Each structure stands twice: as C-alpha cells, then as structure tokens.
C-alpha cells in the first residue's frame, strides 16, 4: 500500500511541475523578442503597419514607405544611409524573405522605378542597411505613386509593383 501512495505523490508532483512550466511559458511572448524601452535603433523600430507585402516565386517582398524625418529617428544616427538619401522626403524600405527557409535575403540587387502622379519617373538602387534594403525618394506630390521593384537574387530576377498614396 505504501508503494501506491509514493507513486501517487510522485505522479502528482510530476503533473504539478509540468503544469507550472506550461503556465510560465504561457506568460511569455512565445519566442518574440522582449519589448524594450531603450533607444537603440532595432528596439525602437515601430511595427510595420504600413508595409505592403507580395509573394512571388517563393520570395516574400515587403515595402514600407516612411517620411525620412521619422525614419531617421529610428536609425542609429543614419549610419547605414548615404547623405544623398537624407535630403529626400521619404525612405523606401524593402525586405526580401525566402518563404521556405524564412531567411532574410541580404545579398540581392534591388532597384526601383517610381511613377510620380504628374507622369515623371524616378529610379535608383536600394542598398542593404542592416535589416532591410533602403533608399531615399522624393514623394512630394499628392496622389498615387506606382513603385516598381526589381530584384535579382540567386540568378533569378523578379519584379513587383506597389501603389503608395500621398495625401
């Protein structure tokens, strides 16, 4: 009879320990980075609510357009940007992710062509800036802009088109 009591206590403790571990894990963010109140560039980047995403041939392409002044507040003194980009009105930020492996692609060649509402076109190259490809662009006219991205990675070329509206 004593062996049955000991087994019951053992299994009760085992269940209690496993349950406590489950409750402790439930209170955490399931692998997401902890929120920080610091002023570091990566900790203070806001959620990409305005990002547009498209998936082409196994590549997830995300574009975010942000006012350059706001963007510079989130970078470490603009270390990854050229002085020419600082004079532009907006920042184009592009992220490329392999859908299968979930890896961010940092060695692609990325360029853009922007069709301005008045009919003009602007083009340039995006450079790797630590966690995204970035470039400055002048988006001063009100209206809809067509942004065409061209990416070349691993010998494969892709094109994606996005729309951005200046109000």
Q: Which residue shows structure tokens 């083009």?
A: 123
Tens digit of pLDDT per residue, the chain (167 long)?
577 676 767 655 544 444 444 433 333 333 333 333 332 333 333 334 478 999 998 999 999 998 776 666 655 544 455 555 656 788 899 999 999 999 999 999 999 999 999 999 999 999 998 889 999 888 888 999 999 999 998 888 999 999 999 88
Nearest to 85 by CA among 49, 132, 143, 29: 132
* Cβ–Cβ under 8 Å, residues 127 and 75: no
- This prediction has a pTM of 0.64
Domains contained in the chain, CATH given: 52-166 (2.60.40.2480)
């Amino acid at each position: 009879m004593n062996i049955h009591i000991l087994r019951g206590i053992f299994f009760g403790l085992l269940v209690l320990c496993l349950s406590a571990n489950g409750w402790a894990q439930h209170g955490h963010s399931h692998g997401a980075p902890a929120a920080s109140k610091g002023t570091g560039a990566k900790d203070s980047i806001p959620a990409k609510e305005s990002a547009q995403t498209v998936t082409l041939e196994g590549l997830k392409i995300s574009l975010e357009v942000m006012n350059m002044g706001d963007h510079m507040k989130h970078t470490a003194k603009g270390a990854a940007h050229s002085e020419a980009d600082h004079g532009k009105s907006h920042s184009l930020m592009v992220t490329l992710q392999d859908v299968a492996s979930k890896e961010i692609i940092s060695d692609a060649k990325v360029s853009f062509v922007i069709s301005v509402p008045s009919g003009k076109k602007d083009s340039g190259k995006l450079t790797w800036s630590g966690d995204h490809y970035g470039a400055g662009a002048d988006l001063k006219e009100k209206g809809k802009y067509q942004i065409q991205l061209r990416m070349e990675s691993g010998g494969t070329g892709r094109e994606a088109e996005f729309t951005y509206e200046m109000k």
